[in-house]
Amino acid sequence: MLDERELRLISEVREKIAVASRVLFVTGAGISADAGLPTYRGVGGLYAGEPTAEGVPIEEALSGRMLQERPSLCWKYIRQIEEAGRGAMPSAGHRAIAALQTKRREVWVLTQNVDGLHTLAGSRRVIDIHGDIKALRCTRCGDERRVSSYENLEAIPHCRECGGMLRPKVVLFGERLPVAKLERLDHELGIGFDVVVNVGTSAVFTYIARPTWITNEKGALTVEVDPGETRLSQLVDIRFRRRASEVLPSFLPADV
């Protein structure tokens, strides 16, 4: 149960969002954990620092180099990620952000997650910086397709057009971030945000922490919703050591 201090802070955030012209939610695995997906690492995580059955670190197994050299091994662990989230539905946190977007034109999401749950919840202004695991692209001809799951895919799926190997449109370890998405993020940060809310992300990557740094420098409101300690915990104006679904729905103004 939320205590009196938390309720007061929630009211403050809600009031700020109600009058804000532009709001950004930066989300990580924590928001999808409420939908039943395992976090990447940590307690209950999909990979808890142990090597794979093949004896290689998971970062190597899920790398662009491994996809080229040993595609069957890379696809094995790509499948594990997809299977872990198969059938998952958006959490209350995802739905709260989507509801706010329907009433506020300039509400954006920057997410590290590849599960597509923000889009499934109804969000449209989403920068999925690491991609979407349900989107596939041919490594030979570039043909693209979407799938609802990997259940009926071959162990190494191939293109229906040219027979080339398919891959998910996600950023594997050792690969560069998509230029178009970085440019979109830079554009939106250049305009600026009145409120930035970090949700369930450790913010270890500079491009994920950067919105909070920039917004802090401008004197606008920064918020964190995360049960644990992150690199942004001591930087944000308001912090909730709570799960996303416990707090985000309460941020919605009365007209949402």
4 CB-near residues (< 8 Å, 6+ apart): none
Expressed in angstroms, the distance from the first to the final Cα of the chain is 23
Tokens of 64: 């662009």
For 106-129, letters b (16+ CB in 10 Å) and e give ebbbbbbbbbbbbbbbebebbbbb
- Look at the alpha carbons of 43, 49, 54, 58 in this order and tell me if their dihedral is positive or negative: positive
Q: Which of 94, 130, 158, 187 is catalytic?
A: 130
Q: Which long-range contacts (CB under 8 A, 24 or more apart) does 75-79 make?
A: 75/155, 75/156, 75/157, 76/155, 77/52, 78/133, 78/168, 78/170, 79/150
Tell me whether residue 130 is one of the annotated catalytic residues: yes
What is the number of other CB atoms lying within 10 angstroms of the CB of residue 3? 8
Which residues are tagged catalytic?
130
